[in-house]
């Protein structure tokens, strides 16, 4: 019998009945950490049963059901297509079946961070002044206004202001004036205008665009205030006069913005955007579950974690409906799934997140397991709400916000929904950064981390190397979230990212 080290397998949850092979495990190898002996060979990335699983019993990974035994499986057996499948389960939403109460941390054990408490009671993690645009036609004017502050030293006397940031984009006209696309965009702009990471907002339009600022203000009952100003270029007499007027309006906001100070706030005021981009074979076994552990810690502290990227959880929606706190929440998710089926169909495509032959060679057995690799960053807490893209999140806990998987587009929606900090897992190496909410990047593997260490905040590769557990890495990520939320710059902030990644989700014909 071969002897193992302690590091032969990765356990993704204490309650799982399978573990993942860190490297190829030969038959008859003793897996000491799990107290089992491999029956047959288990290739790297594939699953090994840690206890006997009876026929039709669930196979659990990430403490979630990834399939059912199609025949009795012995402890130590390789678990894959030959003995595990999804069967009828995939059609049963079984709303709320898996809801367990959130194990909130006890009184006095809750963690705090240092944030900016706003007049409306929300807490920011940064203190920017935002220049929002209703249409591409006001993009250059908005850029010039922001540049006037950031490149002139004009902010030197206002050390508590993180900067003046312009948010420009390619839409706002040549679009329908109602319907899904319009509503997505309207929610996004309003979500930014009301985001707690801003001490002040200037919103600039051209004047004749489809997306009318006065209509936005009427919809949300807004009026111009000291910290919320609107203007159009046409009413201001052109480019130069608009820049001058915009600079004056922001100058008037600086003293009040600079008077904002960080103060202690409970971690329950954090809303964390969960995101992955440039995934690889390690994403589902290192960075995503570690981020899930961090999300669980945040939720147990009373905070909020937003899972999104609907196409990437497709096929595993019934695992989320089982965690839904009530039937209505579960049904809203299913409604979104059906919407996506229609959205892709009318655009000549289809939803399909089934494991590819390559996925299967790598050890992914079922669509549930594949989608759970993405969803693992959501952790294991009950699903307390489902939201449209950019819809304001009005509950605490683990929630879902509908979006594409495309990183800048998805995060734009998450931030509009209220995320004040972002965690981003990447295997191939994304250099993503964002404003106004800081983004923490989590590498899935050490090779990429070493190659792109200047861009990566945390290396989750050691999980695959057996040097650290998912729980330990999750705790490290949680500490990093609190530190960055309190003002420590993330890597992407040090590098100056965040001025070019505002990408509202466009739906519908460009006219």
Can residue 233 be called a binding residue for its own copies (CB under 8 A)? yes
Among 241, 251, 261, 327, binds its own copies (CB under 8 A): 241
Ramachandran angles phi, psi of 442, nearest 5° = -115, 115
Among 124, 302, 303, 405, binds its own copies (CB under 8 A): 405
78-107 binders of its own copies (CB under 8 A) = none
Give the C-alpha separation, 461 to 468, whole Å: 9
300-329 binders of its own copies (CB under 8 A) = 311
Give the C-alpha separation, 487 to 66, whole Å: 39
Give 233 or 423: the residue with its C-beta nearer to its own copies.
233
* Residue 432 interaction partner, one of its own copies, Ca ion, none, beta carbon < 5-8 Å per kind: its own copies
Q: Count CA atoms within 13 Å of residue 508 on its CB side.
A: 17
341-370 binders of its own copies (CB under 8 A) = 343-344, 346-349
Among 37, 140, 227, 354, binds its own copies (CB under 8 A): 140
Can residue 409 be called a binding residue for its own copies (CB under 8 A)? yes
Can residue 16 be called a binding residue for its own copies (CB under 8 A)? no
Give 64 or 236: the residue with its C-beta nearer to its own copies.
236
Can residue 110 be called a binding residue for its own copies (CB under 8 A)? no
Among 115, 130, 246, 277, binds its own copies (CB under 8 A): 277
Q: Count CA atoms within 13 Å of residue 321 on its CB side.
A: 22
Among 70, 150, 234, 469, binds its own copies (CB under 8 A): 234
Can residue 238 be called a binding residue for its own copies (CB under 8 A)? yes
Q: Count CA atoms within 13 Å of residue 119 on its CB side.
A: 11
Among 137, 146, 155, 416, binds its own copies (CB under 8 A): 137
Answer yes or no: are the C-beta atoms of 412 and 405 closer than 8 Å. Answer: no
Can residue 451 be called a binding residue for its own copies (CB under 8 A)? yes
Contact region for its own copies (CB under 8 A) — 120-128, 218-226, 295-303, 406-414?
A: 406-414
* Smallest separation, CB 318 to Ca ion (Å): 5
What are the C-alpha distances in Å from 375 to residues 240, 378, 422? Answer: 48, 5, 16
By CB under 5 A, name the binding residues for Ca ion.
90, 276-277, 405, 407
Contact region for its own copies (CB under 8 A) — 100-108, 284-292, 317-325, 403-411?
A: 403-411
Give 378 or 405: the residue with its C-beta nearer to its own copies.
405
Q: Which of 359, 162, 377 is nearest to 257 (CA)?
A: 162
Give the C-alpha separation, 145 to 186, whole Å: 23
* Smallest separation, CB 452 to its own copies (Å): 4
Pairing type for strands 397-401 and 421-426 reads unpaired
Structure tokens at 380: 């294991």
Give 13 or 425: the residue with its C-beta nearer to Ca ion.
425
Can residue 276 be called a binding residue for its own copies (CB under 8 A)? no
Give the C-alpha separation, 74 to 300, whole Å: 35
* Smallest separation, CB 4 to Ca ion (Å): 33
Give the C-alpha separation, 207 to 289, whole Å: 47
* Residue 276 interaction partner, one of Ca ion, its own copies, none, beta carbon < 5-8 Å per kind: Ca ion
* Residue 152 interaction partner, one of its own copies, Ca ion, none, beta carbon < 5-8 Å per kind: none
- Say which residues have a Cβ less than 8 Å from residue 472's Cβ, sequence separation at least 6: none
Answer yes or no: are the C-beta atoms of 403 and 389 closer than 8 Å. Answer: yes
Answer yes or no: are the C-beta atoms of 294 and 478 closer than 8 Å. Answer: yes
Structure tokens at 130: 């935002």
- Say which residues have a Cβ less than 8 Å from residue 244's Cβ, sequence separation at least 6: none
* Residue 344 interaction partner, one of its own copies, Ca ion, none, beta carbon < 5-8 Å per kind: its own copies
- Say which residues have a Cβ less than 8 Å from residue 337's Cβ, sequence separation at least 6: 310, 314, 317
Give the C-alpha separation, 90 to 115, whole Å: 43
Give the C-alpha separation, 304 to 307, whole Å: 10
Contact region for its own copies (CB under 8 A) — 42-50, 100-108, 166-174, 463-471?
A: 166-174
Give the C-alpha separation, 393 to 307, whole Å: 12
* Smallest separation, CB 32 to its own copies (Å): 37
Q: What DSSP string runs through 211-230?
A: S-HHHHHHHHT---BTTEEE
Contact region for its own copies (CB under 8 A) — 32-40, 60-68, 120-128, 338-346?
A: 338-346
Give 400 or 505: the residue with its C-beta nearer to its own copies.
505
The order of strands in the sheet holding 163-167 is: 163-167, 128-133, 198-205, 228-232
Contact region for its own copies (CB under 8 A) — 119-127, 203-211, 321-329, 476-484?
A: 203-211
* Smallest separation, CB 198 to its own copies (Å): 20
Contact region for its own copies (CB under 8 A) — 79-87, 110-118, 429-437, 475-483?
A: 429-437
* Residue 255 interaction partner, one of Ca ion, its own copies, none, beta carbon < 5-8 Å per kind: none
* Residue 90 interaction partner, one of its own copies, Ca ion, none, beta carbon < 5-8 Å per kind: Ca ion
Cα-Cα-Cα-Cα dihedral sign, residues 376, 379, 380, 385: negative
For its own copies, the binding residues (CB under 8 A) are 136-137, 139-141, 143-144, 151, 168-170, 173-176, 179, 206-208, 233-234, 237-242, 277-278, 311, 343-344, 346-349, 404-409, 428-433, 451-455, 495-501, 503, 505-511
């Amino acid at each position: 019998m071969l002897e193992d080290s302690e590091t032969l397998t990765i356990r993704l949850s204490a309650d799982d009945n399978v573990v993942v092979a860190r490297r190829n495990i030969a038959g008859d190898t003793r897996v000491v950490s799990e107290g089992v002996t491999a029956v047959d060979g288990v290739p790297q990335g594939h699953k090994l049963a840690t206890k006997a699983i009876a026929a039709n019993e669930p196979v659990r990974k990430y403490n979630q059901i990834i399939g059912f035994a199609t025949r009795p499986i012995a402890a130590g057996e390789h678990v894959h297509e030959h003995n595990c499948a999804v069967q009828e389960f995939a059609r049963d939403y079984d709303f709320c079946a898996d809801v367990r109460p959130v194990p909130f941390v006890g009184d006095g054990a809750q963690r705090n961070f240092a944030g900016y408490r706003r007049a409306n009671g929300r807490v920011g993690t940064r203190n920017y002044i935002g220049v929002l645009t209703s249409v591409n036609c006001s993009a250059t004017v908005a850029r010039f206004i922001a540049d006037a502050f950031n490149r002139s030293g004009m902010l030197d006397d206002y050390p508590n202001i993180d900067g003046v940031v312009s948010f420009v984009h390619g839409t706002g006209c040549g679009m329908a004036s109602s319907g899904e696309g319009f509503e997505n965009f309207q929610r996004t702009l309003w979500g930014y205008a009301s985001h707690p990471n801003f001490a002040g907002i200037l919103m600039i339009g051209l004047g004749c665009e489809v997306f009318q600022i006065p209509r936005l203000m009427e919809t949300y009952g807004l009026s111009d205030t000291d910290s919320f100003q609107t203007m159009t270029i046409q009413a201001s007499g052109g480019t130069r006069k608009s820049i001058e007027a915009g600079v004056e309006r922001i100058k008037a906001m600086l003293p009040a913005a600079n008077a904002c100070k960080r103060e202690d706030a409970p971690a329950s005021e954090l809303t964390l955007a969960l995101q992955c981009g440039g995934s690889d074979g390690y994403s589902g076994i290192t960075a995503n579950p570690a981020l899930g552990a961090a999300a669980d810690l945040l939720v147990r502290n009373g905070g909020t974690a937003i899972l999104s990227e609907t196409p990437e959880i497709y096929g595993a929606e019934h695992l989320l409906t089982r965690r839904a706190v009530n039937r209505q929440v579960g049904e809203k998710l299913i409604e979104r799934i059906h919407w996506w089926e229609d959205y892709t169909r009318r655009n000549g495509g289809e939803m399909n997140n089934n494991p590819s032959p390559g996925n299967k060679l790598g050890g992914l057995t079922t669509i549930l397991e594949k989608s759970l690799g993405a969803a693992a960053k959501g952790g294991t807490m009950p699903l307390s709400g489902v939201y449209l893209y950019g819809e304001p999140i009005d509950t605490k806990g683990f929630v879902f916000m509908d979006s594409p998987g495309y990183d800048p587009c998805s995060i734009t929606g998450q931030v509009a929904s209220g995320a004040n900090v972002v965690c981003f897992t990447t295997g191939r190496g994304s250099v993503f950064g964002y404003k106004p909410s800081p983004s923490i990047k989590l590498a899935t593997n050490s090779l990429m981390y070493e190659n792109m260490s200047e861009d990566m905040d945390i290396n989750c590769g050691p999980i695959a190397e057996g040097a650290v557990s998912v729980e330990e890495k999750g705790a490290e990520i949680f500490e990093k979230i609190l530190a960055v939320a309190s003002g420590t710059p993330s890597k992407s902030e040090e590098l100056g990212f965040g001025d070019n990644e505002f990408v509202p989700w466009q739906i519908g014909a460009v006219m």
